[in-house]
């Protein structure tokens, strides 16, 4: 019976679940840890990962999720229920990988036990009939070479079971060790990921040039933390963004591509102040917490005065970049005026008028900055208590009372007495601050997984059977071999042994596949 037929037979013979509860769980466990189930779960985890790479994900960009929902209102409800905007945190994705982990553990533990028990296992006894194995051959020997054969086999690191005139040599035991280390490492990585998710925190902040940031929860624009995260575990540092420098490609080739970002900060930690640069790919680390430079944008400084020439608003405003050339949108809300005031603005660092699309930015640097604004009066809708985006003006209860474009230094006087001055342009940098106490374990898991895989895939388990028969003064050696993996030719091992004993010539390399 071939191996495949055997497997088929086993599969059709899987017993039905017994009627008692204990038997049922035993049956369930058996099913869950079977290789067919494991493969099915592997396939499912791959399939389940797909929608998260195509649909926008909350974990990556809330803004893009919102845009998608606006474009596809009919699907929102059902997609939301299925967790399709947070696939990797959804119940069904978790269910699949938890089942996969259980299956993995159920597979590794029994094998670990077997491996441990057979740590010093000696190969099985030589079968009676060795002619049916691979590479069978008979060779005439000089009288007492049996000892030297054993010596060579030991030198080639075979484990031997010698009984009288026959022996079995086996090697490749590290294959199983490698496989076990690999699979155990995958479990370690999963534990590290889960542990990290419980204790980590990750937040983003936007800091304008000349402004500072103190590491506490109120200062974050966006903050995610694990269930067991404690606020007092956050290191108590403060930094101040002195200067943000950015350099864009000016040549025709890849014009506008970023070439360098440097955020120069003054960092205060544990009573010490030092000046450091944060670069992309070069985060700084404070007590295990890392600060990364993740983005940047423009913050035009705008001043609004009322008809009595009193300042009602004066600040630099963070504008959200919309494209590679940094067309950016921003909003000013002045709720204390009556009626309330809102300004919808679009900032173009290098403004040009495109005949088709109107004003566009053609370069991300500040070559010819312009600010396009619309002035709104009415009810901002901020008093109802529903949270609003700071980048969006709710204009349904407002009236537009003016439109204007300004260059830095220019002032716009409106008919209603207000005036708006575009003073200058500042920059902001966005940083990510993150802490994951378990990432070292994940790395260790990854390294062990690689090592385990190296042994598990690279080493093959195989046996050589050998028999010596002596008639009068003539000795005859019979030998053959058995490989446990389809790709390994045990004939090569037999040949290597015979070459070492000077009984054969090395195989010519076969140029055929």
What does R_g of the chain's alpha carbons equal in angstroms?
36
What whole-number distance in Å separates Cα of residue 346 and Cα of residue 348? 7
CB crowding 121-144: b at 16 or more within 10 Å, else e:
eebeebeeebeebbbeeeeebeee
CB of 100 to other proteins, least distance (A): 10
Q: What is the 3-state secondary structure (H, E, C) of 198-227?
A: HHCEEEEEEEECCCEEECCHHHCCEEEECC
**Number of other CB atoms surrounding residue 513 within 10 Å:** 3
Contact 219, 443 (CB under 8 A): no
What whole-number distance in Å separates Cα of residue 367 and Cα of residue 255? 13
Query: Which of 52/297 has CB closer to other proteins?
Result: 52
Site size for other proteins (CB under 8 A) = 62
Options 245, 249, 368, 478; binder of other proteins; rule CB under 8 A = 249
Orientation of helix 91-117 relative to helix 174-199, angle to 10°: 140
Binding mask 176-195 toward other proteins (x if CB under 8 A, else -) reads -----------------x--
Task: Based on the shown chain and the rule CB under 8 A, indicate whether residue 75 belongs to the binding site for other proteins.
Answer: no
Query: Which of 290/301 has CB closer to other proteins?
Result: 290
Torsion of CA 439, 444, 448, 449, to 10 degrees: 0
What whole-number distance in Å separates Cα of residue 318 and Cα of residue 340? 21
Window contacting other proteins (CB under 8 A); options: 30-38, 139-147, 341-349, 497-505: 30-38
Return the bridge partners of 371, or none.
Answer: 347, 406
Task: Based on the shown chain and the rule CB under 8 A, indicate whether residue 251 belongs to the binding site for other proteins.
Answer: yes
Q: Are strands 166-171 and 212-214 parallel, antiparallel or unpaired?
A: unpaired
Binding mask 287-306 toward other proteins (x if CB under 8 A, else -) reads ---x-x-x------------
| Secondary structure of residue 101 in the 3-state scheme | helix
Options 222, 457, 469, 476; binder of other proteins; rule CB under 8 A = 457
CB of 510 to other proteins, least distance (A): 8
Task: Based on the shown chain and the rule CB under 8 A, indicate whether residue 57 belongs to the binding site for other proteins.
Answer: yes
What is the token pair recorded at 467?
A: 């028999």
CB of 200 to other proteins, least distance (A): 9
Window contacting other proteins (CB under 8 A); options: 57-65, 153-161, 229-237, 372-380: 57-65
What whole-number distance in Å separates Cα of residue 88 and Cα of residue 435? 20
C-alpha distances (whole Å) from 457 to each of 106, 107, 284 are 21, 18, 39
Window contacting other proteins (CB under 8 A); options: 164-172, 230-238, 254-262, 298-306: 254-262
Site for other proteins in 203-242 (CB under 8 A): none
CB of 432 to other proteins, least distance (A): 4
Task: Based on the shown chain and the rule CB under 8 A, indicate whether residue 453 belongs to the binding site for other proteins.
Answer: yes
Contact 190, 121 (CB under 8 A): no
| Secondary structure of residue 388 in the 3-state scheme | coil
Window contacting other proteins (CB under 8 A); options: 44-52, 340-348, 354-362, 407-415: 44-52
Task: Based on the shown chain and the rule CB under 8 A, indicate whether residue 258 belongs to the binding site for other proteins.
Answer: yes
Query: Which of 49/360 has CB closer to other proteins?
Result: 49
What whole-number distance in Å separates Cα of residue 446 and Cα of residue 448? 6
Window contacting other proteins (CB under 8 A); options: 331-339, 370-378, 420-428, 435-443: 435-443
Window contacting other proteins (CB under 8 A); options: 17-25, 163-171, 279-287, 309-317: 279-287
Phi-psi region of 300 (alpha: psi -120 to 50; beta: other; left: phi over 0): beta
Window contacting other proteins (CB under 8 A); options: 121-129, 214-222, 325-333, 445-453: 445-453
Site for other proteins in 482-501 (CB under 8 A): 485-487
Phi-psi region of 369 (alpha: psi -120 to 50; beta: other; left: phi over 0): beta
Window contacting other proteins (CB under 8 A); options: 210-218, 248-256, 332-340, 356-364: 248-256
Query: Which of 3/147 has CB closer to other proteins?
Result: 3
Options 18, 25, 31, 42; binder of other proteins; rule CB under 8 A = 42
What whole-number distance in Å separates Cα of residue 282 and Cα of residue 284? 7
Return residues touching other proteins (CB under 8 A): 3-4, 7, 35-36, 38-39, 42-43, 45-46, 49-50, 52-54, 57, 59-60, 64, 87-88, 193, 202, 249, 251, 253-254, 257-261, 279-283, 290, 292, 294, 432-434, 436, 439, 442-443, 446-447, 449-450, 453-454, 457, 485-487, 509, 511-513
């Amino acid at each position: 019976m071939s191996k495949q037929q055997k497997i088929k037979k086993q599969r059709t013979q899987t017993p039905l679940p017994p009627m008692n509860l204990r038997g049922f769980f035993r049956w369930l466990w058996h099913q869950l840890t079977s290789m067919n189930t494991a493969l099915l779960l592997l396939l499912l985890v791959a399939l389940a990962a797909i929608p998260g790479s195509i649909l926008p994900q909350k974990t990556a960009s809330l803004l893009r999720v919102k845009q998608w929902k606006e474009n596809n209102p009919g699907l929102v409800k059902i997609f939301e229920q299925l967790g399709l905007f947070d696939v990797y945190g959804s119940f069904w994705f978790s269910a699949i990988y938890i089942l996969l982990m259980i299956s993995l553990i159920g597979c590794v533990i029994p094998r670990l036990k077997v491996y441990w028990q057979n740590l010093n296992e000696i190969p099985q006894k030589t079968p009676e009939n060795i002619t049916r194995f691979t590479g069978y051959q008979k060779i005439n020997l000089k009288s007492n070479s049996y000892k030297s054969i054993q010596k060579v086999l030991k030198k080639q690191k075979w484990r031997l079971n010698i009984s009288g005139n026959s022996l079995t040599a086996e090697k490749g035991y590290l294959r199983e060790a490698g496989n076990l280390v690999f699979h155990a490492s995958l479990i370690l990585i999963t534990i590290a990921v889960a542990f990290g998710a419980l204790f980590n925190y990750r937040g983003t902040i936007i800091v304008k040039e000349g402004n500072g940031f103190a590491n506490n929860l109120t200062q974050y624009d966006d903050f995610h933390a694990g269930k067991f995260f404690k606020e007092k575990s956050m290191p108590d540092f403060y930094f101040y963004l002195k200067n943000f420098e950015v350099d864009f490609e000016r040549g025709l080739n890849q014009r506008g591509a970023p070439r360098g970002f440097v955020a120069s900060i003054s960092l205060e930690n544990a009573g010490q102040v030092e000046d450091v640069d944060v670069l992309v790919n070069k985060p700084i680390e404070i007590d295990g917490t890392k600060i990364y430079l993740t983005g940047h944008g423009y913050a035009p400084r705008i001043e609004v005065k009322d008809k009595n020439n009193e300042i009602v608003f004066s600040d630099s405003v963070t504008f959200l970049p919309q494209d590679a050339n940094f067309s950016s949108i921003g909003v000013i809300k002045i709720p204390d005026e009556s009626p309330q005031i809102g300004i919808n603005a679009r900032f173009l660092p290098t403004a040009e008028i495109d005949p088709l699309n109107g004003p566009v930015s053609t370069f991300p640097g500040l070559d010819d900055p312009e600010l396009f604004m619309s002035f709104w009066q009415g009810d901002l809708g901020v008093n109802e208590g529903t949270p609003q985006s700071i980048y969006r003006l709710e204009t349904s209860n407002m009236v537009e009372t003016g439109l204007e474009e300004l260059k830095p230094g220019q002032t716009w006087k409106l008919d209603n007495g207000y005036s708006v001055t575009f003073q200058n342009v500042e920059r902001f940098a966005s940083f990510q601050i993150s802490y994951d106490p378990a990432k070292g374990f994940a790395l260790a898991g990854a390294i062990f997984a690689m090592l385990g895989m190296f042994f598990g895939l690279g080493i093959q388990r195989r046996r050589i059977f050998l028999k010596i028969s002596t008639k009068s003064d003539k000795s005859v050696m019979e030998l053959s071999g058995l490989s446990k993996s389809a790709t390994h030719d045990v004939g090569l091992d037999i040949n290597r042994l015979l070459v070492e004993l000077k009984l054969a010539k090395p195989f010519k390399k076969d140029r055929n596949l």
